[in-house]
């Protein structure tokens, strides 16, 4: 059996999704990002995209009120 040095197993190398810097997972508190800053940048991108989406169709859960419509069956005219 081969014995791996403990550092080779516990140090898991990652690539930051924001700045593409190589770092070890034990160097960060915000995996898979190298720093909290990069995590916030990525989060900001997602929020930007969500807000920038054009609204097409009706949002769920909005009741459609038709009380302003003229009642066709009304005979009191």
In the complex, the residues that contact Zn ion under the rule CB under 5 A are 16, 18-19, 21, 34, 38
Nearest-approach distance from CB 20 to Zn ion, in angstroms: 7
Task: In angstroms, give the least distance from the CB of 44 to Zn ion.
Answer: 13
Task: Name the residue nearer to Zn ion (CB basis): 12 or 21.
Answer: 21
Residue placing its CB nearer to Zn ion in the complex, 36 or 65: 36
- CB 25, min distance to Zn ion, A: 13
Query: 48 vs 64, which CB is nearer to Zn ion?
Result: 48
Q: How far apart are alpha carbons 17 and 46 in whole angstroms? A: 13
Other C-beta atoms closer than 10 Å to the C-beta of 10 total: 11
């Amino acid at each position: 059996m081969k014995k791996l040095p403990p550092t080779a197993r516990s140090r898991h190398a990652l690539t930051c999704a924001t700045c593409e810097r190589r770092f070890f997972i034990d160097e960060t508190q915000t995996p898979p990002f190298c720093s909290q800053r990069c995590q916030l940048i990525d989060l900001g991108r997602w929020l930007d995209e969500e807000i920038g989406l054009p609204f097409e169709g009706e949002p769920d859960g909005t009741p459609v009120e038709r009380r302003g419509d003229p009642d066709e069956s009304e005979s009191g005219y």
